[in-house]
Amino acid sequence: MLKVTDVQKVFDSARGSYVALAGVSVEIKDGEFLCLLGPSGCGKSTLLNIMAGFEPVTAGRVDCDGKPVISAGQERVVAFQDAGAALFPWLTVEENIRFGLRVRKIPKTDWDGIVTKYLRMVDLDRHREKFPSELSGGMRQRLQIARALTVEPKILLMDEPFGALDAMTRRRMHSFLLELWQRTGKTIIFVTHDIAEAITLADRVAMMSVGPGSVITRLIDIDIARPREVTNPRFTELFNEIEHLLEPDLARSEAH
């Protein structure tokens, strides 16, 4: 569904050029849950922005359903870490959802039913008159995801969306996201630097190296039935394997 082929990304500045990505290739299947995993500075967010169409490639290409990705499109939407910044603070919960329908140019006569559908999907129907500032962090993230889903994307791109949440809320959001993914069948590409989060969520984990010139070094199948528990011996085995593989990159990241 989404094919990244030998993607390179170079950023130019007054101080010179920086190679962020140096030949990244990966294919994401329809309906797959893929995690991009690596330490800070390894180019995960840069790659996600290229997949979204926010950033042009320096070389290589990205194709979605066989068509080149050269700009943002409704078939690919992004959920960011800071939901508070992504939402419109002057609009209520319901009005934030309606924004997605306006983007799709859905007839206004259909809005009420669609808004109710998505608010119920993310369990925010009772909070439709509140403003984002009146919601908890997890509720704001659910609202951001609901608004993204209203444009009926094929692919949901998520840039460390739960990184700012406390541990308990984060676990709840994992369960919520997995249930939503299984219900909708969307393709999800999820950026994280948390090994346990990647194992909990992903079908496959794409491990990225630290630059200059980051690449995907390995793709790991997560062969544990859902729901996944950290007490599962295979979970511990995979965690230790991935942690060991990441150690050289973590050392390079700290050195930078």
Mean pLDDT for the stretch of residues 5-33: 91
Pinpoint the alpha helices (H) of the chain.
Answer: 44-52, 83-86, 93-104, 111-121, 137-149, 167-184, 195-201, 233-255
What is the reported pTM?
Answer: 0.91
Inter-residue long-range contacts of 102-110, CB under 8 Å, 24+ positions, other chains counted: 103/74, 103/151, 104/74, 104/150, 104/151, 104/152
158 has a pLDDT exceeding 60: yes
Per-domain boundaries in the chain: 1-75+156-256, 80-152
Residue 11 · residue 41 · CB < 8 Å: no
201 has a pLDDT exceeding 80: yes
The CA distance from 172 to 103, in Å, is 30
The CA distance from 102 to 96, in Å, is 10
Q: pLDDT digits over 13-25, tens only?
A: 778 888 899 999 9
pLDDT at residue 225, rounded to an integer: 94
Q: pLDDT digits over 179-198, tens only?
A: 999 999 999 999 999 999 99
Angle at 78 between CA 42 and CA 14, to 5 degrees: 45
Q: Which residue has the higher pLDDT, 100 or 93?
A: 93
Quote the CATH superfamily of domain 1-75+156-256: P-loop containing nucleotide triphosphate hydrolases (3.40.50.300)
251 has a pLDDT exceeding 80: no
